[in-house]
Chain A
């Protein structure tokens, strides 16, 4: 196992990136040279130079400190929403796959409908009704990604429940619930678990988009997406540092999770390595 891990550069590199990014975000209060929400002594909109390695914004705040702190909301929202869609989607998938019949048809149609709709627009509609904020944003993101888990979980149940060991369990008198929970459900998990790391990357981008559009937390909370929106106002005057650095952070984090996803895929499907 360890050798396979070491021979999986994508998983390794992705893991390192994610761990580093999470560590930086958690340690932001200790690493930041300035308070991210308070003005410094530097002039407004100063170009990057020490001690302001990424310049300052229009309120004289240190962009570097804001960038370090700006990952807390995206990471929190992305991980929470993925946890919610993972549990909800998988449970619904098990139910649909195992119950079959009308329950399955209705649930599948519902999930297909949600899946076919642009995730970002659906999330925007939800937040538009619920109002901006952390919890509502998380709920919206969680909702739009439920079908991703539902589909995998349901498809797996359909395959696994036809296998001999399930038949054997039923033959020795295991109840339906017991068969589902003890024999079928656990075996669907390896396939289900290929979804989350890609999904976290997606959720990070959706969170960034929502907060860029102004559906996140109100200022002055540092948040990459929102800080980019703020920088957009000064774009035509050439203040590139307000936009560039928060964007790099979003990309790094999303790439990290994306690489982990690819790596897990290679690991679980060694035959299709590099094909998928």
Chain B
């Protein structure tokens, strides 16, 4: 197992380096001058542009810029925000828990709904329910994330007034709240404040449900096909022939074996989830890193844009690494 982890870790590094290079090429080599973009339209002369380029180090040769870029990332230094003057690492770490809290809640919800519908569909293979679920799945991943979010808001927040329009807490509660971990669900429980916890949940439910719809369809689909494949196997027939309850056959014999590809799919959906998070955070004024990226683009804060994209790249690589290790743990056939 240790050897597998080490090999996998060694493979992550070139992959990450290439990904970082792609980001560098996009941000530095593509036509488009960040200084011109940042200062353009304002009353500035060419000397201001030159000064800005010097400040950002854009006047250096590309190769020097690239080495500095990789060196900084290796030391986890993402630079200083032009807009706020704060280190971008701090800005990101402050907002990251919000994104993770949202992403994990969405993932949990999607897994629950996706797996249940997937199992249900596979057990009722080729019956009307199965076809209905299949069509629903197609519809679910054909819906724009931001639109689902807005429709939820119209229905549950504006018309029914059941849930808040956005943010992570009621404004009044937010005044008296000092975060500990910045995971608000955990913080409110740490304080033993049930009302606060419910307040947090109330704010979390719509964004999480929105995000869940993005990947729930994929998980449902994967569960169904994985289950169908397994239900055809001899050991399932044997289990049935032994006279086991259908329930036990499905749960113990089919599902445990069908789970392996499902876990991988859930892990790989994390990239999709991050893309969905950017839209969910926008719609629900959720103060996470995705919204920070958009704010930075609006403010034309070039270092913050680069820092955030690199941060997301690092995070995704880490998640993929963890998924692979988990995969190897549950399926002993996977080894190098």
Contacts and interface: CB of A to CB of B under 8 A. Distances in A.
Interface of A: 109-110, 112-114, 116-122, 124-126, 128-131, 201, 205, 208-209, 212-213, 225, 228, 231-232, 235-236, 238, 240, 243-244, 247, 250-251, 254-255, 258-259, 262, 274-276
B275 A109 contact: no
A275 B225 contact: yes
Given A121-B309, A201-B142, A254-B142, A232 B150 contact: yes
Given A113-B16, A212-B279, A236-B158, 7 more contacts: A125-B27, A131-B32, A208-B147, A232-B283, A238-B154, A247-B143, A274-B134
B328 interface: no
Given A129-B26, A244-B151, A121 B312 contact: yes
26 contacts: A109-B14, A109-B18, A112-B15, A113-B22, A116-B320, A120-B276, A120-B279, A126-B26, A129-B27, A129-B34, A131-B37, A208-B146, A213-B279, A225-B144, A228-B146, A228-B147, A232-B283, A235-B158, A240-B154, A240-B158, A243-B150, A247-B144, A247-B151, A250-B147, A251-B143, A258-B142
A204 to B, nearest CB: 8
Contacts, number: 143
Contacts of A225: 144
Contacts of A113: 15-16, 18-19, 22
B69 to A, nearest CB: 14
A130 B15 contact: no
B165 interface: yes
Nearest to A115: B271
Nearest to A262: B138
Given A209-B146, A251-B143, A130 B22 contact: no
Interface string B97-122: 00000000000000000000000000
A258 B217 CA distance: 13
B147 A118 contact: no
Nearest to B32: A129
B30 A130 contact: yes
B250 interface: no
B78 to A, nearest CB: 15
A254 to B, nearest CB: 4
B294 interface: yes
Nearest to B317: A116
A199 to B, nearest CB: 13
Nearest to A229: B146
B305 A118 contact: no
Contact of A114 (B22, B272, B274, B290): B22
Contacts of A274: 125-126, 130, 134
Nearest to B158: A238
Contacts of A118: 271-272, 274-275, 278, 312, 316
Contacts of B313: 117
A247 B229 CA distance: 36
B280 to A, nearest CB: 11
A122 B278 CA distance: 12
A235 B154 contact: yes
Contacts of A251: 139, 142-144, 147
A177 B151 CA distance: 54
Interface in B272-305: 272, 274-276, 278-279, 282-283, 290, 293-294, 297, 305
Contact of B144 (A129, A209, A240, A258): A209
B177 interface: no
A73 to B, nearest CB: 15
A123 B142 CA distance: 19
Contacts of A117: 19, 22, 271, 312-313, 316
Nearest to B294: A213
A228 B150 contact: yes
B226 to A, nearest CB: 10
A259 B135 CA distance: 8
Interface in B220-257: 225, 228-229
Contact of A275 (B16, B139, B228, B290): B228
B142 A205 contact: yes
B23 interface: yes
A152 to B, nearest CB: 17
Contacts of B275: 118-121
B146 A212 contact: yes
A129 B282 CA distance: 20
A212 B278 contact: no
B31 interface: yes
Given A114-B22, A116-B271, A128 B297 contact: yes
Contacts of B212: none
